[in-house]
Structure 1
């Protein structure tokens, strides 16, 4: 919560903001220090008194709501950046993946099956899609879409490859939380 920092940036005392918001200074002090839960009604009047939107008032004080940090899985040769938060539109997840495991290193245990469809586009490099008995090369600028009920796995060809993928709930569980 950014109430204290926004109040101080305006040069206001606790009493100034409390008076403008119509609450007691002691109540405002407990809200600012986190010793009192804030109701939506209080949040609305405080944001109005500060001349800020509700979003600006509850904005994260650090960069955790802006910076997307990678999740590295060295055993699978995969680095993932999940680009949607709290399920994207219509329950879809968008992620960027960097694949470093080379083609040819596939074992039967590498193949996954789950309900739904996967879609991806290759941003750089070449991806080898193992789809059942088929081996399909997808170059940068190309895309692929397939039923995930067919056993499948991805590998890179001749160096790392990066993809942008759209996954439904089942795909997210299978590919990102394995």
Structure 2
């Protein structure tokens, strides 16, 4: 069975998440606490006859115990959109989307846009011009901003060098900023 080396630790974590002792889960699953202890410590092989009652009591699937850990590396290509480079930092199925965005320097601020969503960004390098409503702010390396994207806004690098930011978008904001229009 693939991933069996993780069964014990995952079983223990699921039991502890419920706040149950070894005795609590063992009695509910119809086995001895020593058998459960040996399963959790990896000293006993985890067969289906033992896992099925345990997963039922814990409210989890057998796959939750035996699945191979996912590769945590993000392998999505960077894209260029509106002159800036957008490098994904999260997988597509992540509940929040995060990107490293490189803005080229512009003499003039781009035309402000409005759309549903929220955006958060942190300046890694360079200087960033944030036009937000009637305000124009300059953010330096190490500064962050958070705003409702229903306020007219634009972001660009200011000065002679590009600016790099880490941007976090709500799902609505992410769609507008990172998806290519068809």
TM-score by length of structure 2 reads 0.56
- Tell me the alpha carbon deviations over residues 115-135 of structure 1, each in whole angstroms, 9 at most, x when there is no partner: 221100000001101112221
Shift of 1:76: 1.7
Q: Does 1:78 align with 2:84?
A: yes
Q: Does 1:99 align with 2:103?
A: yes
Q: In 2, distance between residues paired with 1:86 and 1:162?
A: 21
Which residue is equivalent to 1:66? Answer: 73
Q: What SS does the corresponding residue of 2:130 show, helix, strand or coil?
A: strand
Q: Does 1:140 align with 2:138?
A: no
TM-score by length of structure 1 reads 0.57
Shift of 1:105: 4.8
Contact 1:103–1:128 under 8 Å retained in 2: no
Q: In 1, distance between residues paired with 2:101 and 2:92?
A: 18
Contact 1:103–1:155 under 8 Å retained in 2: no
User: RMSD over aligned Cα, in angstroms?
Assistant: 2.9
* Structure 1 segments (4+ residues) deviating >3 Å: 65-70
Q: In 1, distance between residues paired with 2:133 and 2:145?
A: 15
Q: What SS does the corresponding residue of 2:68 show, helix, strand or coil?
A: helix
Number of residues of Structure 1 aligned to a counterpart in Structure 2: 121
Matches within 5 A, 1:95-134: 95-106=99-110, 108=111, 111-134=112-135
Q: What SS does the corresponding residue of 1:115 show, helix, strand or coil?
A: coil
Structure 1 unmatched ranges of 5 or more = 1-40, 45-52
Q: In 1, distance between residues paired with 2:78 and 2:93?
A: 17
Which residue is equivalent to 1:19? Answer: none
Structure 2 unmatched ranges of 5 or more = 1-61
Which residue is equivalent to 1:169? Answer: 171
Matches within 5 A, 1:15-26: none
